[in-house]
Amino acid sequence: MKKSEKGLLEAKANVLKALGHPTRLWLAEQLAGGEKCVCELAEQIDADFSTVSKHLAVLKQAGVVADQKRGKQVYYSLKVPCILKYMPCIETVVRTQIEEQVHLLRDDLPRPLPPRR
């Protein structure tokens, strides 16, 4: 593999990794409806203020969100909204996975005997 390809691969993985945390994914989804300040985001979620700030910093470093300071507040917004268009596909993955696990349960586990007549 060429060095440039490797670099691109790492950069792409970095974006996916940034989204690969429940809190950060939630933050990104919140921003789908338009920019929000840190305060709005932090108060909706059960986490320390500084934790939210750090998660936003991770998203920013990955290029997923942009920040803009206005007055006392900092507003974050999605920089490349197409990112969320992907979610239905991710949900398909999740759904498929869950269905398979259900099948596993159904097929492999001993079930109670049917009632005797």
Partner DNA sequence: GGGACATTTGGTTTATTTACCATATGTCCC
Partner DNA sequence: GGGACATATGGTAAATAAACCAAATGTCCC
Interface residues with DNA (CB under 7 A) are 17, 21, 23, 37-39, 42, 47-51, 53-58, 67, 69, 71-74
List 47, 70, 92, 103, residue binding a second copy (CB under 8 A): 92
Would you say 23 or 84 has its CB closer to DNA? 23
Query: Could you identify the residue written with the tokens 């691969």?
Result: 9
Alpha carbon distance 37, 74 (integer Å): 5
Positions that interact with a second copy (CB under 8 A):
1, 6, 8-22, 24-26, 45, 62-64, 79-80, 82-83, 85-87, 89-94, 96-98, 100
